[in-house]
Structure 1
Amino acid sequence: MTAPTAHHFGVTVTDLDRAVEFYRDVLGLDVLDRFTVSGEAFSDGVGVSGATGDFAHLDAGSARVELVEYDPEADESDATSVNQPRAKHLGLAVDDLDSFHADLPAEVETLSEPRTTESGTRILFVRDPEGNLVELLEA
């Protein structure tokens, strides 16, 4: 059996247009494709009766960021902090974290200023418009 390789990292959102604007305009990811998927095979595959998904795929180098807005929409997740069970975050590498941070629009919520961890990695966590955590890192 061949080992899996990364294809995409999915983020479920409530407003696809707003999310695309953030990931494209603030984080600088190029939109590769937008499409809708529905039907019985999709509903069965995602385990959501009658599901339709509006998707956007964005270029994140060796993998894609997949933003998806579902109908029907489920209840909100209670995992709002990175250390909570079921929490998720998307990790994206940048060349110069300080410059990236300085160029962020004022309305983008950050958890702190850029920090250097004990491992030597520089990190900055921001929230997208849906409240999802995005880690920007400079190794």
Structure 2
Amino acid sequence: MHFVSIRVITADVARLVGFYERATGVTADWATEDFAEIRTTSATLAIGSTRTVGLFAPGSAEPSANRSVIVEFLVDDVDAVHRDLAGFAEVVAEPTTMPWGNRSLLVRDPDGTLVNFFTPVTPAALARQGLASGDQRNV
């Protein structure tokens, strides 16, 4: 089995895609006006319109209703991401070095989903990501 992607359902695909393109620096691949994917080297964030829900199971997904999932991106420099998103995204928690060794920035996307951008900064945190000090990380 391979974990392939997470799909977020939204009432405004273009707005949400625009947020994630800016936040990640990755240009979305659009299949239709109702579906796009942000493909990184390690995972895909799929973004679908409410119109796509009916193709699976009508009424099974509701946009802007998530309060249990945090979408996470490993980035080279969390402080640079913070500067880039200042005034663009709702900042929930400023960049902070967590007890487990990641420097993290927590924001909300336009639909209210929590998004964590993090950079491992301690030797233990780097090792958990399979990185050595100074390794380049790409989203």
TM-score (norm 2): 0.71
Pair 1:28 & 2:25 matched: yes
In structure 1, C-alpha distance between the alignment counterparts of 2:28 and 2:73, rounded to whole Å: 16
**Which of 19, 38, 54 does residue 16 from structure 2 map onto?**
19
In structure 2, C-alpha distance between the alignment counterparts of 1:66 and 1:94, rounded to whole Å: 19
The answer to whether the 8 Å contact 1:33/1:58 transfers is no
In structure 2, C-alpha distance between the alignment counterparts of 1:21 and 1:76, rounded to whole Å: 16
Query: 2:43 is matched with which residue?
Result: 63
In structure 2, C-alpha distance between the alignment counterparts of 1:70 and 1:132, rounded to whole Å: 16
**Which of 77, 86, 91 does residue 96 from structure 1 map onto?**
77
In structure 1, C-alpha distance between the alignment counterparts of 2:10 and 2:63, rounded to whole Å: 10
Runs (4 or more) in structure 1 with deviation over 2 Å come to 32-36, 71-80
Pairing 1:29-48 to 2, within 5 Å after superposition: 29-35=26-32
User: Which ranges of structure 2 fall in alignment gaps of 5 or more residues?
Assistant: 121-139
Query: 1:134 is matched with which residue?
Result: 115
Q: Counterpart amino acid of 1:17?
A: A
The answer to whether the 8 Å contact 1:26/1:105 transfers is no
User: Which ranges of structure 1 fall in alignment gaps of 5 or more residues?
Assistant: 37-53, 81-86
Cα 1:106/1:56, change in 2 over 3 Å: same
In structure 1, C-alpha distance between the alignment counterparts of 2:64 and 2:92, rounded to whole Å: 19
Cα 1:76/1:70, change in 2 over 3 Å: closer
Cα shift at 1:79: 4.6
1:49-69 per-position Cα deviation (integer Å, ceiling 9, x unaligned): xxxxx2111112221110111
Q: Counterpart amino acid of 1:95?
A: D
Cα 1:8/1:97, change in 2 over 3 Å: same
CA RMSD of aligned residues (A): 2.1
- SS of 2:92's equivalent in the other structure is coil
